[in-house]
């Protein structure tokens, strides 16, 4: 007789964003959440309101902009972020629910600007990232408890940003990370050895990696479905980055600085010339622009493939695997000779179990 698989238990813990003091634990339906390397993740869910008591509790706990949401699966922290929207609604039968959406804690940095000029010379780029987050948390009311490490990348840079630019902290972090020989970053949420909820700035150079051994996934097999698109609309072998004018003479016309990067080997190998551009406000240094152009070209030189796999969630697949590598083996009509390739997990979207469907995860991958 097959052993019954226990249904995992999800629960949402709502806390004060600044102190992490628990406000309430509420039941959820229609929950879906995701997390990524390189962009904020999200959580959407519905809280049923069958009676006045639960409605009063939800109204007190669900306070957009000042409530933190921790999603736990069987007691482990699987997701954490900031509650941003809350929508109470009723249907034709008078049944009330409240829908909410939250973004991972890094989304908070989209709502923060530098409160003073920041100048760092010959600083490790990880120190620049930590300085930006520390600056945001040092301002009155700005500390949401993101912890900072002490690791280094070995890459030193100059960084300057003025208060008058009114630049968002996340925007500045992303700009530094996207330079040539840059890094990846995210806010990693987990429970530490003492059982405390932790939100930590995770940095990786050149990428965030996991030390776990490769996970082998097969189709047919543990992979329920897959999608392996190829997209040349974002491909380039010539990239031009445009900044701002460095001219300080108001009597002369001010033209923006530009810097280009190219891949002659592609053109010599038969590829057509494919050009793309990017704008970088506040950049007045040609060397920085060239670094930006080279970094963009390295990312977009080949047709972009963003594989997606859907698997039944189990002990092998958790949010802690972001940055881990998998070995994907496919044998079907398209891959009649068989595909055996390695990828890195850069995103994870989870659908908790419902009455009519199992618990599944969609993995977003990039070539290893």
What's residue 245's pLDDT? Answer: 81
346, two tokens: 């850069």
Spatial distance between the Cα atoms of 85 and 68, rounded to a whole number of angstroms: 12
Contact 343, 367 (CB under 8 A): yes
Nearest by Cα to 299 from 210, 204, 366: 366
Spatial distance between the Cα atoms of 15 and 249, rounded to a whole number of angstroms: 53
- The 3-state DSSP class for residue 342 equals strand
What's residue 2's pLDDT? Answer: 44
DSSP per-residue string spanning 225-250: EEE---B-TT--SEEEEE-------T
Phi/psi for 168 (5° steps) reads: -75, 145
Q: Structure pTM? A: 0.84
Q: Which fold is adopted by the domain 215-229+305-367? A: Phage tail proteins - horseshoe like beta roll fold (2.30.300)
Its sign, for the CA torsion 100, 105, 106, 109, is positive
Phi/psi for 133 (5° steps) reads: -70, -40
For the 10-108 domain, the top CATH level (class) is mainly beta
* Residue partners of 350: CB distance under 8 A and separation at least 6: 32, 33, 34, 78, 313, 319, 359, 360, 361, 362
- Between CA 226 and CA 232, with CA 227 as vertex, the angle to 5 degrees is 160
DSSP per-residue string spanning 74-99: TTEEEEEEEEEEEEEEE-TT--EEEE
Nearest by Cα to 68 from 84, 55, 50: 84
Per-10-residue mean pLDDT, the chain, length 368: 65 96 93 94 96 95 97 94 96 92 98 94 98 97 96 95 92 93 96 94 94 86 91 91 77 81 94 94 87 90 82 83 93 94 94 81 88
What's residue 283's pLDDT? Answer: 86
Q: pLDDT (tens digit, 9 = 90+) per residue, 38-89?
A: 999 999 999 999 999 999 999 999 999 999 999 999 889 999 999 999 999 9
- Between CA 49 and CA 53, with CA 52 as vertex, the angle to 5 degrees is 95
Spatial distance between the Cα atoms of 44 and 49, rounded to a whole number of angstroms: 16
Nearest by Cα to 74 from 315, 270, 247, 333: 315
- The 3-state DSSP class for residue 138 equals helix
For the 112-204 domain, the top CATH level (class) is alpha beta
What's residue 250's pLDDT? Answer: 64
């Amino acid at each position: 007789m097959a052993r019954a698989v226990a249904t995992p238990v999800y629960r949402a813990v709502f806390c004060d964003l600044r102190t992490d003091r628990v406000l309430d634990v509420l039941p959820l339906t229609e929950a879906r959440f995701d997390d990524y390397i390189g962009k904020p993740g999200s959580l959407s869910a519905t809280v049923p309101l069958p009676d006045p008591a639960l409605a009063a509790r939800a109204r007190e706990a669900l306070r957009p902009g000042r409530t933190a949401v921790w999603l736990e699966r069987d007691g482990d922290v699987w997701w954490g972020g900031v509650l941003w929207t809350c929508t109470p609604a009723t249907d034709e039968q008078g049944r009330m629910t409240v829908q909410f959406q939250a973004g991972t804690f890094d989304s908070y940095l989209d709502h923060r600007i530098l409160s003073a000029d920041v100048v760092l010379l010959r600083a490790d780029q990880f120190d620049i990232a930590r300085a930006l987050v520390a600056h945001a948390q040092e301002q009155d009311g700005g500390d949401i408890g993101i912890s900072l490490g002490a690791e280094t990348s070995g890459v030193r840079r100059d960084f300057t940003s003025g208060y008058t630019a009114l630049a968002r902290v996340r925007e500045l972090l992303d700009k530094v990370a996207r330079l040539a020989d840059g890094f990846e970053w995210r806010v990693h949420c987990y429970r530490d050895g003492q059982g405390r909820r932790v939100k930590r700035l995770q940095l990786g150079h050149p990428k965030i990696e996991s030390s776990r051994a490769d996970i082998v996934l097969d189709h047919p097999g543990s992979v329920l479905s897959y999608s392996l698109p190829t997209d040349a609309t974002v491909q380039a072998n010539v990239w031009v980055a445009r900044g701002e004018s460095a001219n300080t003479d108001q009597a002369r016309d001010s033209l923006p600085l530009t810097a280009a990067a190219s891949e002659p080997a592609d053109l010599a190998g038969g590829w057509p010339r494919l050009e793309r551009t990017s704008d970088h406000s506040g950049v007045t240094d040609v060397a920085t622009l060239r670094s930006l152009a080279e970094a963009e070209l390295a990312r977009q030189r080949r047709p972009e493939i963003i594989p997606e796999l859907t698997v039944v969630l189990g002990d092998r697949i958790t949010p802690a695997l972001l940055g881990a590598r998998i070995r994907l083996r496919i044998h079907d009509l398209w891959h009649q000779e068989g595909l055996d390739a390695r990828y890195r997990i850069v995103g994870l979207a989870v659908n908790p179990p419902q009455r009519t469907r199992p618990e599944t995860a969609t993995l977003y991958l990039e070539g290893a």
